[in-house]
Structure 1
Amino acid sequence: MTRNDSVTFIAFLRWLEHAVPADSTIHLILDNGSSHTSNATRSWLAKHPRLVVHHTPKRASWLNQVEMFFSILARRLLRRGEFNSRQDLVEQIREFTLAYDDQARPFRWYYDSTPLKAA
């Protein structure tokens, strides 16, 4: 994409809405970037209720949440697991993810503005 603005983002949302079967709800996990929170985007989303938006907390990168999940995956499965093949690895990751989804709870985020200390 050449621009990261509301027009480009709404064009993506239109494409997404047409690409996903009409009877499916689409959950979007978005950061608080201006293209995701603009008046134009909020207005468009209000008219398309099957797109459900979940914003990441302010001052928290969406990437942090992905990294936290991969850390959990690595600690609970990958470091201890035994995999007989690539397909076995894929299947175990899929099973882990489905089981994790059943018991997962939201991460609690906070920001106290304390500078990080070097290790």
Structure 2
Amino acid sequence: MVHTPVHASWLNQVEIYYSAVQRKVVSPNGFADLTEVRDRLREFEDRYNATAQPLRWRFTTSDLDGLLARLDRRTADHYEESSVASTA
């Protein structure tokens, strides 16, 4: 099992990458043909791969246990509040 951060999923990381491609490669769209687009995308990919650094996850199993415990407490509190309100 892989524990991803609760604030950003792996999909968000993909969206960030494609957002950068959109802003830095595709948006200045004065391309003469598709070959020029391809070459520009490959140049960006090479430059990005040369400077990119791995993401170091800091979300541990202990963090997950704590998060689940907080969620359980919140759910229990919410259930108690709603049952009190419905009896009133």
TM-score where L is the length of structure 1: 0.39
Please identify runs of 4+ aligned residues in structure 1 that moved more than 3 A.
Answer: 105-110
Q: Between the two structures, name the one with larger relative contact order (CA 8 Å, sep ≥ 6).
A: 2
Q: How many residues align?
A: 57
Asked whether the equivalents of residues 57 and 109 of structure 1 are also in contact (C-alpha less than 8 Å), the reply is yes
Superposition pairs for residues 81-92 of structure 1, below 5 Å?
A: 81-92=29-40
Asked whether the equivalents of residues 56 and 62 of structure 1 are also in contact (C-alpha less than 8 Å), the reply is no
Assess, with a 3 A threshold, how the Cα gap between structure 1 residues 107 and 78 changes in structure 2: closer, same or farther.
Answer: farther
Q: Percent identity?
A: 33
**Structure 2 counterpart of 1:76:** 24
Q: Which amino acid counterpart does residue 20 of structure 2 have in structure 1?
A: I
In the TM superposition, what is the alpha-carbon distance from 1:107 to its structure 2 partner? 5.7
**Structure 1 counterpart of 2:4:** 57
Structure 1 residues not aligned, in runs of 5+: 1-36, 38-54, 111-119
In the TM superposition, what is the alpha-carbon distance from 1:56 to its structure 2 partner? 7.0
Instruction: Answer 1 or 2: which has greater helix percent.
Output: 2
Which residue of 62, 66, 70 corresponds with 2:14? 66
- 1:34-91 C-alpha deviation (Å, 9 max, x unpaired): xxx1xxxxxxxxxxxxxxxxx5732232111110001111111211242111122112
- State how far apart, in whole Å, the 2-side matches of 1:90 and 1:97 are: 11
CA RMSD of aligned residues (A): 2.7
Instruction: Answer 1 or 2: which has greater strand percent.
Output: 1
Assess, with a 3 A threshold, how the Cα gap between structure 1 residues 74 and 57 changes in structure 2: closer, same or farther.
Answer: same
